Amino acid sequence: MSDQPETSCKTVLAGTIAKGLLAEVKQGLSELNAKPPHLYGILANDDPAAKVYADWTGKTCKENGFEYTLRTVAKDDAEEAIIAANQDDSIDGIIVYYPIFNNRQDQYLQQIVDVRKDVEGLSHQYIFNMYQNIRFLDDKHLQKSILPCTPLAVIKILEYLHIYNTILPYGNRLFGRTICVVNRSEVVGRPLAALLANDGASVFSVDITGIEQFTRGAGIRKRKHEVVEKEGMTLDECVPLCDVVITGVPGHKYKFPSHLLKEGAVCINFSSEKNFGPEVKERASIYVPAIGKVTIVILLRNLLRIVQNNRSQKVPTPALANGEP
């Protein structure tokens, strides 16, 4: 051991984490013992990034034994395309590449997708279950509710990094952890903060309007999280308390103030921009610079779960990896 190693930070790449999850998905797929699940993509915008994501989805599907069809339509035909896909029995899951209208009409479209084909977990029923900490769709606990892909990808990364403590009971495995989420969008940041707090963490949710704390209260006695506004609290006060910092700020100008990090903090960035500068490694114990490769596997995992859920409505069979989100 040299006296002054360069840094003690371990960088963990999403590809490494994705491998194990993909193996689980392939195992589940082989146990399904049926024709390959069919994912149907609807692309109704001109955003080149959406096209890249659509092509990447298709590639990952085909490489791993899933069927994938991409349909490109005009904005105003998206609604009819979704309705047609809902009614097509050859289609198991639907993914719509947003934004389309980039306003509330997109939320309207999200509710058009049949809940039994909603691999993105954007249906109101799934979102409601997520915030309310309701983990199953049925009383017998055979069908797990579907969680949105990016927040679930972050959770799977935290499990891989042993931030979830499996010594604690399922549902409480983040008890004792303090986590900061920089982003409070309805798509990722707020659901993620809620999921982490529902699992027992004390979460500081940060955006430009201020800081909110999500917890299950003293001794995590509440059955779901509650939110408290931390009027006047700044990053300077909140970050040094945090074991884990998760960032998702769009725009290349933003850099997280890494000098505030607690020694040995775990840092995860889900933005497509590098929210952490290289100096993050001076203080962090673990750094995950991007999560995209995990997110795409979660999409396949959700598709598999949906196929399993729809089957178990007919013949009851245990859900994939029962007892895990």
Backbone angles phi, psi at 288, to 5 degrees: -115, 105
**Position 10 contacts its own copies (CB under 8 A):** yes
Catalytic residue, chosen from 149, 180, 238, 267, is 149
What does the alpha-carbon distance between residue 289 and residue 272 come to, in Å, rounded to a whole number? 9
**Position 264 contacts its own copies (CB under 8 A):** yes
**Position 2 contacts its own copies (CB under 8 A):** yes
Compute CA distances 225 → 176, 218, 222, whole Å: 15, 11, 7
Q: Which stretch binds its own copies (CB under 8 A): 56-64, 180-188, 263-271, 315-323?
A: 263-271
Q: Which of residues 11-30 bind its own copies (CB under 8 A)?
A: 12
Report whether 121 contacts 302 (CB < 8 A). yes
Q: By C-beta, is 167 or 315 nearer to its own copies? A: 167
Q: Which stretch binds its own copies (CB under 8 A): 25-33, 37-45, 167-175, 179-187?
A: 167-175
Selected from 27, 102, 107, 165, the binder of its own copies by CB under 8 A is: 165
**Position 139 contacts its own copies (CB under 8 A):** no
Is 61 one of the annotated active-site residues of the chain? no
**Position 48 contacts its own copies (CB under 8 A):** no
What does the alpha-carbon distance between residue 41 and residue 63 come to, in Å, rounded to a whole number? 16
**Position 116 contacts its own copies (CB under 8 A):** no
What does the alpha-carbon distance between residue 323 and residue 325 come to, in Å, rounded to a whole number? 7
Q: Which stretch binds its own copies (CB under 8 A): 113-121, 183-191, 247-255, 256-264?
A: 256-264
Selected from 143, 150, 202, 258, the binder of its own copies by CB under 8 A is: 202
Residue with tokens 């969680």: 147
**Position 138 contacts its own copies (CB under 8 A):** no
Strand 67-72, strand 38-43: pairing = parallel
Report whether 64 contacts 26 (CB < 8 A). yes
With CB under 8 A, what is the number of residues at the site for its own copies? 41
What does the alpha-carbon distance between residue 21 and residue 135 come to, in Å, rounded to a whole number? 20
**Position 141 contacts its own copies (CB under 8 A):** no
β strands within the chain, DSSP E: 10-11, 38-43, 67-72, 93-97, 178-182, 202-207, 210-215, 226-229, 244-247, 266-269, 286-288
Q: Which stretch binds its own copies (CB under 8 A): 83-91, 182-190, 213-221, 229-237?
A: 213-221
Instruction: Print the binding letters for residues 215-244 with its own copies: x by CB under 8 A, - otherwise.
Output: ---xxxxxx-------------------x-
14-32 vs 292-312: helix crossing angle, rounded to 10: 20
Instruction: Print the binding letters for residues 145-164 with its own copies: x by CB under 8 A, - otherwise.
Output: ---------------xxx--
What does the alpha-carbon distance between residue 283 and residue 267 come to, in Å, rounded to a whole number? 10
What does the alpha-carbon distance between residue 290 and residue 100 come to, in Å, rounded to a whole number? 25
Catalytic residues: 149
Which residues in this chain contact its own copies in the complex, by CB under 8 A? 1-5, 7-10, 12, 160-162, 165-169, 171-172, 175-177, 200, 202, 218-223, 243, 262-266, 282-283, 285-286
